[in-house]
Structure 1
Amino acid sequence: MRTLLSLSLCCLSLVLPAWGAAEPEAPTGFLSRPEVTAAHYMAATANPHATEAARAVLAEGGSAVDAAIAAQMVLTLTEPQSSGIGGGLFMVFWDNEAGKLVTLDGRETAPASAHPNLFLDKDGHPAGFMDAVVGGRSVGVPGVVAALYEAHQRYGKLPWARLLQPAITLAEQGFEVSPRLAALLARQLNPGLLRPGPARDYFYPGGKPLTAGTRLLNPELATTLRRVAAQGPDGFYRGPVAEAMVAAINRDASHPGGLSLADLADYRPQWRAPVCVPYRQFEVCGMGPPSSGAVTVGQILGLLAVDNVASMAPNGIEFIHRFAQASRLAYADRNHYLADSDFVAVPVEGLLDPAYLAQRRALMPPQRDGGSASAGTFAPMPGPDATEALPSTSHMVMADREGNLLSLTSSIEMGFGSSVMSGGFLLNNQLTDFSRHPGPAGQPAANRVEAGKRPRSSMAPTIVMGPQGHPVLAIGSPGGSRIISYVAQTTMAILDWQMPLAEAMALPRVSHRNDYLALEAGQAWDQVVPALEARGYRVKQVPLNSGVQVIQKTPTGWVGAADPRREGIASGG
């Protein structure tokens, strides 16, 4: 349902609601990165090289999809820990000419050899997360190249080969290793990279991690991208690139995989219907299953829609409490029901039905933590949740001259993926996003491993539609299963508190996954934590390294902003 909005929410010069005088002071967040305004087009990505490649494409008259293709190819090179052509993606796109919203599923699929017991040891116990991650066993069929080409066929304006050229040039001429990439390598985030092989040679030359500012070339990736530029998906899913991938995965020394050339050749991205949830005067739209993003974000917002969030202090006690209680219920449903809807009946409409949400809302104690929540009742689908730890992932948003708007999240799962490297790029470990235990006999886990199935994701590329039926906001974030929290919280900061984008990006993060209340480490929570603990919360201050990118429509064009926690920037014209 949409209603008319009397006050334009596109304007940035809006006054924030008064902070609750009786509440302890909450932290104000990171030093914000300046917003960028532009009349005609805008790009925001996780890396300056990628943003510049996208901006140049948009300046040439390219579409938002063209810009995303150029940016993703560059990110394969400059942000290899997070995403790339060895992984998968979800895209939400506003087609301004047709006046409709579409979503594209470029998620990885399990190879035909995969089975529910893939991650069980000989005694029937699930492998530990790090043991499951490293090696060829965890690699799903990559979807990025096929999905981007599919999107280009429908919405591209510039030639496909032109869009790959910025990444090819950087790979051949070199780029400076960023501080973030160098820091992750120094921390040895992914121990698989230390195994003998192409990844160690590339990231740890001479046995030492790359340092910030090092000029890094990747001629092997340039060769791969030239083949893809000339042949499209066939240059990736068939021929020498495909053969090298299969060999690297199936001959892995730690955990050989079972990927075949047929698995690669048979991969197809899927256009799916968007999932939209009314919130205030808006509709918040995103990617449905196999992503849990739109449904879980939608549940959180739906549960809080009756609250006067605008009157609450940003990150004050009352807001954190209500947000945490809504989140614990939404995550309980997510962990129980969300999976690939091509394999499992997912009750999307039921989970978002206002009557169901009203029942769930009654389970939100007004002053106390409600503890661990159980899923609502639709059908018997018990089973352990997949572990999503040490996440990577990347997000980008694009707006073009024609008024098209794109929100795209891509990932290779954990930082540096499976650590298997082929053709100059890292391969994903997305199969660990399945439940590593298949569940009890007769009542298998919804998200169990199955051949051809897409693992559940938390990626939540989002476009917010205004009361007139046109988009006002594109937003998303990396962050593993906490992506949902980051997107929901930041969306509310913009819509409810009407924060300027830079302030919303810098706002300290809060997350509750039906386990404990996580507050972003390094923030001034001293007065807040005791009050929350008095309400029964188990509070942990942990790193919550969101990487939100956002574009907002204004009466004069676009405003873009990037999360100050990472290296992303926005740029437009």
Structure 2
Amino acid sequence: MVVASHPLAAEAGQAVLRAGGTAVDAAVTVQAVLSLVEPQASGIGGGAFLLHWNPAGHELTAWDGRETAPAAARGDLFLNDGRPMEFLDAIVGGRAVGVPGVMRMLEEAHRAHGKLPWADLFAPAIRLAEEGFPVSPRLAQSIAVSAETLRRDAAARALFFDASGAPLAEGAVLRNPALAETLRALAEQGADALHRGPIAADIVNAVRRHANPGLMTGDDLAGYAPRRSTAICLPYRLYTVCAPPPPSGGAVVLQILGLLAHFGPDLEPTGADAAMLLGETGRLAFADRGRYLADPAFSPVPTAGLLDPAYLTLRAQLISLDRAIRVPRPGNPRRDGPPLASQPPQPESGTAHLAIVDAEGRAVSMTTTVESIFGARVVVRGFVLNNELSDFSFLPEIDGRPVANRVEGGKRPRSSMSPLMAFRGAELELITGSAGGARIIGYVAQSVMATLDWNLDPQAAAALPHAGAYHVLTELEQGTVAASLLNALTSRGAPAAARVMNSGTNIIRLQREGEARRLLGGTDPRREGAAVGD
């Protein structure tokens, strides 16, 4: 089964599985197709986190393909006369472009877990790029919303607008021969095609020669390396839930689950108590995230302390279903280290999630992004460049205290991406993850609660009206039954609001029926994804 955020990507990935490919083989194909059909969300110019499960060796591996800051980047990258830049001014252009990592990560994962030839995995995306595909409603809307800034880039203008200069409409055929050539180079040369040579030179020129220039060099691109590590895991009721370590958002999701575990699971999924609990656990976890979460290679992250049962018990004692915490403050999960300032909230958006299980039971949970809609609004050789550096704190310090997630050369920005797997004993039970910027954290936590606590099937879980934290606020999904809970939450003192919550949750649930295995897939109805399985 493949569950992905666009039907063409899901179908291409499933064709790889039917040809005998592994879950990682399919992930390479899905990402290549998403670069074409959903360029506003993810692509080869961005980054990703991936979990891989191999049941044969009971081996769970975390892969970090997060973008990095150029070596020359410093804490003042997003300051103008000592003040933070306006967000849109910061992200459009070269300034916020991080060194892309998704293809290096997939290349290394393919060497470890792939079976089919690397070059073969790009054929579906190359064919679609040459033949063209119909612009989806969501892509058309994204182009229209971003038209003002997309038009500033000549390559983006040629790709996403028609001959009259109007944004491509739903149903228009989009062809991208430049991307087809780039994908051919990737097929033949591997990820070196992006990190060395003429395509890399074009990336550097687009970044450095923009009116809002960045600092990336050829050495930054050539020196990028993904990280392979052990996943972080936490017991949750009858299950063990696992995610990639920081700088992914997985530790924050696990914290929320660790707090939820102190309360009974018997809640009405769309009731006020469930919304209150998701909001309060999330607000506490976001407070810790703002203080401690960053790239652990640069700022030690107290992951073990944040997930320590005793610490979570102390934090859970702050939660009441009857009365909201007035101001959630970060806890103290460590005993040493310099005093840190909490990062103020900043916009986060974009992203796509894919879930894959192959015929041998190997599995992938992968979240991938270019950050904002169309990233930096810069197109090179048919693909969009990310604006991932805007996930760093614009302020390097506050009141004389450093922010853990400040800009530093070679550092990876903090992420909300949280691909997740849950196990019951030694058996994989659940694959989940979502799009949605900082809201990803709450979406993923809610999807775990919906499937494992409330036993909703994956489609019902993906469609469940959202309630959860967004920094200090508890959000309720506008236009759904969740929004009707607003008065119930505010009467309990919760700072709550009804808002658009455009998630992109994709789920696979694995069930055993004797010796047989049954796969149930669910895709978020707020987007245009598909679950394709045999």
TM (normalized to structure 2)? 0.96
Cα deviation, residue 390, structure 1: 5.4
Query: Are residues 1:89 and 2:44 paired?
Result: no
Query: Are residues 1:370 and 2:325 paired?
Result: yes
Counterparts of 2:204 and 2:344, CA distance in 1: 25
**Residue matched to 1:5:** none
Cα deviation, residue 318, structure 1: 1.2
Query: Residue 475 of structure 1 contacts residue 550 of structure 1 at CA under 8 Å; is this kept in 2?
Result: yes
Matches within 5 A, 1:358-507: 358-377=313-332, 378=334, 379-385=337-343, 387-389=345-347, 391-440=349-398, 443-466=401-424, 468-507=425-464
Cα deviation, residue 389, structure 1: 2.4
Cα deviation, residue 441, structure 1: 7.1
1:227 is aligned with what amino acid? A
**Residue matched to 2:303:** 348
Counterparts of 1:257 and 1:115, CA distance in 2: 12
Please point out which of 88, 99, 120 is paired with 2:58: 99
**Residue matched to 1:171:** 129
Please point out which of 188, 192, 203 is paired with 1:234: 192
2:130 is aligned with what amino acid? E
Percent identity (aligned): 47
TM (normalized to structure 1)? 0.90
Counterparts of 1:340 and 1:141, CA distance in 2: 15
Counterparts of 2:404 and 2:134, CA distance in 1: 43
Cα deviation, residue 339, structure 1: 0.3
- Note the aligned Cα RMSD (angstroms): 1.3
Counterparts of 1:232 and 1:388, CA distance in 2: 35
**Residue matched to 1:334:** 289
Counterparts of 2:193 and 2:103, CA distance in 1: 10
**Residue matched to 1:147:** 105
Counterparts of 2:20 and 2:326, CA distance in 1: 53
Q: Aligned in 2, Cα 1:374/1:191: closer, same or farther, shift over 3 Å?
A: farther
Secondary structure at 2:402 match in 1 = coil
Deviation track 1:389-411 (CA, whole Å, cap 9, x = no partner) reads 25110000000011101100000
Secondary structure at 1:207 match in 2 = coil
Counterparts of 2:325 and 2:471, CA distance in 1: 10
Query: Are residues 1:47 and 2:3 paired?
Result: no
Deviation track 1:210-258 (CA, whole Å, cap 9, x = no partner) reads 10111111011111111111011121111111011111111112x1111
Counterparts of 1:370 and 1:499, CA distance in 2: 29
Counterparts of 1:332 and 1:533, CA distance in 2: 20
Counterparts of 1:390 and 1:350, CA distance in 2: 26
Secondary structure at 1:137 match in 2 = coil
**Residue matched to 2:28:** 69
**Residue matched to 2:168:** 210
**Residue matched to 2:526:** 565
1:340 is aligned with what amino acid? D
Counterparts of 1:410 and 1:139, CA distance in 2: 15
Q: Aligned in 2, Cα 1:381/1:461: closer, same or farther, shift over 3 Å?
A: farther
**Residue matched to 1:307:** 263
Counterparts of 2:53 and 2:501, CA distance in 1: 29
Counterparts of 1:386 and 1:171, CA distance in 2: 40
Pick which of 383-392 and 491-500 moved more. 383-392
**Residue matched to 1:157:** 115
Query: Residue 384 of structure 1 contacts residue 435 of structure 1 at CA under 8 Å; is this kept in 2?
Result: no
Cα deviation, residue 386, structure 1: 6.0
Counterparts of 1:387 and 1:415, CA distance in 2: 18
Q: Aligned in 2, Cα 1:125/1:385: closer, same or farther, shift over 3 Å?
A: same
Query: Residue 386 of structure 1 contacts residue 433 of structure 1 at CA under 8 Å; is this kept in 2?
Result: no
Deviation track 1:257-295 (CA, whole Å, cap 9, x = no partner) reads 11111111000000011010110010110011111x221
Secondary structure at 1:85 match in 2 = coil
Counterparts of 2:483 and 2:170, CA distance in 1: 34
Cα deviation, residue 387, structure 1: 4.5
Q: Aligned in 2, Cα 1:243/1:63: closer, same or farther, shift over 3 Å?
A: same
Q: Which runs of 5+ in 2 are unaligned?
A: none
Cα deviation, residue 381, structure 1: 4.2
Counterparts of 1:251 and 1:138, CA distance in 2: 13
2:311 is aligned with what amino acid? Y
Query: Residue 262 of structure 2 contacts residue 313 of structure 2 at CA under 8 Å; is this kept in 1?
Result: no
1:317 is aligned with what amino acid? A
Cα deviation, residue 204, structure 1: 2.2
Query: Are residues 1:544 and 2:501 paired?
Result: yes
Pick which of 152-161 and 551-560 moved more. 551-560
Q: Number of residue pairs matched?
A: 526
Counterparts of 2:485 and 2:103, CA distance in 1: 46
Secondary structure at 1:138 match in 2 = coil
1:319 is aligned with what amino acid? A
Q: Which runs of 5+ in 1 are unaligned?
A: 1-41
Cα deviation, residue 425, structure 1: 0.3
Cα deviation, residue 328, structure 1: 0.7
**Residue matched to 1:31:** none
Higher normalized contact order (CA 8 Å, seq sep 6+, divided by chain length) = 1
